[in-house]
């Protein structure tokens, strides 16, 4: 059996800059990946195809796809794309980009103007996909205080229930990060399966594995197959016929060239040729199908029973980074069954018995070295320290507030809600990743410190007993960062002393 898993995620970008890093990142990914991907899946679902893939949507991305500010910004961005197409001096590029922009604008205005939840819920209700959830704001869970880790996961799964009418039982843990004991929290939250990278299972990804003494199943990414598409050094998107991601027409910002060659300067890139790209897609579809077939036979022979192959990728690879990716995906999803390969979701694999012996899973991630160095290494020691500080301050402030009000019924406290919201934003795994990879590191550090500052301001007012000022500050910061409106600090498990008093 073959399972395709896509992980869709961007940090919260609304109201935090536009260019070169900020909302532009969201709108490019939305236009390049989310629109064509959901359109393709809807088309396959309309043909009666089911259980096509497992699709992870992080709560923080889901919030942006439903956010009125982001929806208005996306509509404006699509209109601007169409105008830029009109301004292009290259006729072929102008016509091609105008058609693409017009189609995207029509898709958005027809299906997306009131938010992404309805689009995704249709795919869930038609059984086209298995929806994978995750914790709020994408924290690196192994380094997170257990109470906040528990709260973030439970709230994230509830957020999915609110948006899509279903509470996911599978998750893509942020960064595929795991620490021993996390399976206990997963089981308590109703999670039955989650993703890890292949090396976490010592390369044996031919079946899911129950973790330690739990019934929670870890599925591993098959690197041999996944790296055919995308690896740290190679993969299909680098083929000479595909559109080059890094080369722009400076007058319009549109991409007009093909890769041509890895050592070819941007000024010398050949013009993009859609027919040439389409032929390359067909070759890479055939190569991928044969790779899956070969791997299934190899692994089934090795273990003496039908094997599972899981290929997993960031959704944004398809369309945003690799322009031809969505077309390749659709052709692959059609070609695999035609080749006699059984395709299903991770939940299908679990319920159909593609589960092996328990594994004593160790600390791991899907980052460099497959350990925690990207999120806990020397390069981000300052962020690790900042995260510890803000989490301790947030929990201490909320615990004191709740103890002081212990004699009264606990009512909704918008101050505590915003404290948790800013804390979760501050400890997002994205900031450490961007610093470690030197990808907009300044923006990442600035974002972490902005949320830490917001938390400190609110907590300081609470500590001084200035409730009115604290409420004003919480409301002010909420205008910029008001995602997860259902977040409720009352659901944060109390500290031991508080629990004893209650």
The CA-based diameter of the chain, rounded to the nearest angstrom, is 74
Are 45 and 335 a contacting pair, CB within 8 Å?
no
Instruction: Please tell me whether residue 77 adopts helix, strand or coil conformation.
Output: helix
Selected catalytic residue, list 67, 97, 155, 175: 175
In terms of Cα–Cα distance, which of 272, 268, 273, 353 is closest to 308?
Answer: 353
Instruction: Please tell me whether residue 407 adopts helix, strand or coil conformation.
Output: coil
**In whole angstroms, how far apart are CA 187 and each of 205, 208, 216?**
21, 16, 6
Cβ–Cβ contacts within 10 Å for residue 146, how many? Answer: 12
Q: How far apart are CA 481 and CA 488, in angstroms?
A: 15
Does 314 qualify as catalytic in the annotation? yes
Selected catalytic residue, list 90, 215, 314, 495: 314
Does 460 qualify as catalytic in the annotation? no
Per-residue tokens: 163? 């948006």
Instruction: Please tell me whether residue 120 adopts helix, strand or coil conformation.
Output: helix
Instruction: Please tell me whether residue 297 adopts helix, strand or coil conformation.
Output: helix
Query: Token pair 């693409």 is at which residue?
Result: 100
Q: Which helix (H) or strand (E) holds 217?
A: strand 217-220
In terms of Cα–Cα distance, which of 399, 405, 428 is closest to 492?
Answer: 399
Asked whether the bond before 20 is cis by omega within 30 degrees of 0, the reply is yes
Long-range contact pairs involving 64-67 (C-beta distance under 8 Å, separation at least 24): 64/10, 64/12, 64/13, 64/14, 64/26, 64/483, 65/30, 65/34, 65/112, 65/115, 65/116, 65/117, 66/115, 66/116, 66/117, 66/163, 67/14, 67/483
Burial label for 487, CB within 10 Å (0-12, 13-18, 19+), is: buried
| Residues designated as active site | 175, 314
């Amino acid at each position: 059996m073959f399972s395709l898993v896509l992980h869709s995620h961007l940090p919260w970008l609304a109201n935090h800059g536009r260019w070169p890093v900020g909302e532009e990142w969201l709108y490019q990914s939305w236009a390049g990946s989310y629109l064509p991907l959901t359109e393709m899946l809807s088309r396959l679902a309309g043909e009666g195809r089911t259980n096509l893939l497992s699709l992870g949507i992080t709560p923080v991305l889901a919030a942006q796809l439903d956010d009125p500010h982001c929806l208005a910004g996306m509509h404006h961005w699509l209109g601007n794309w169409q105008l830029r197409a009109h301004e292009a001096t290259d006729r072929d590029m102008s016509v091609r980009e105008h058609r693409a922009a017009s189609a995207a604008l029509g898709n958005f205005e027809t299906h997306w103007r009131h938010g992404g939840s309805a689009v995704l819920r249709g795919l869930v209700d038609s059984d086209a996909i298995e929806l994978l959830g995750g914790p709020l704001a994408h924290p690196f869970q192994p380094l997170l205080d257990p109470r906040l880790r528990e709260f973030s996961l439970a709230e994230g799964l509830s957020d999915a229930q609110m948006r899509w009418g279903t509470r996911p039982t599978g998750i893509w843990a942020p960064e595929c990060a795991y620490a021993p004991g996390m399976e206990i929290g997963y089981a308590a939250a109703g999670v039955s399966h989650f993703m890890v990278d292949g090396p976490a299972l010592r390369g044996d990804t031919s079946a899911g594995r129950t973790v330690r003494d739990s019934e929670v199943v870890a599925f591993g990414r098959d690197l041999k197959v996944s790296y055919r598409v995308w690896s740290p050094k190679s993969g299909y998107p680098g083929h000479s016929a595909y559109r080059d991601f890094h080369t722009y027409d400076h007058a319009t910002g549109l991409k007009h060239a093909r890769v041509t060659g890895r050592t070819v300067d941007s000024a010398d890139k050949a013009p993009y040729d859609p027919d040439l790209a389409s032929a390359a897609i067909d070759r890479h579809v055939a190569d991928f199908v044969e790779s899956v077939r070969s791997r299934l036979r190899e692994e089934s022979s090795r273990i003496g029973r039908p094997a599972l192959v899981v290929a997993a990728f960031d959704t944004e690879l398809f369309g945003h980074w690799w322009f031809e990716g969505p077309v390749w995906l659709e052709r692959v999803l059609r070609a695999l069954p035609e080749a006699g390969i059984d395709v299903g979701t991770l939940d299908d694999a679990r319920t159909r018995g593609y589960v092996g012996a328990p594994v004593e899973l160790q600390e791991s991630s899907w980052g460099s070295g497959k350990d925690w160095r990207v999120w806990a290494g020397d390069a981000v020691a300052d962020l690790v320290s900042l995260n510890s500080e803000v989490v301790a301050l947030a929990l201490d402030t909320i615990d004191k507030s709740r103890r002081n009000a212990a004699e009264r019924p606990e009512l909704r406290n918008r101050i505590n809600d915003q404290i948790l919201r800013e804390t979760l934003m501050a400890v997002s795994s994205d900031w450490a990743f961007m610093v470690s990879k030197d990808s907009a590191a300044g923006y990442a550090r600035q974002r972490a410190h902005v949320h830490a500052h917001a938390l400190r301001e609110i907590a300081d007012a609470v500590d001084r007993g200035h409730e009115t000022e604290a409420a004003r500050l919480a409301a002010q910061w909420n205008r910029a960062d008001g995602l997860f409106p259902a977040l409720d600090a009352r659901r944060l498990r109390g500290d031991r002393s508080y629990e004893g008093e209650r």
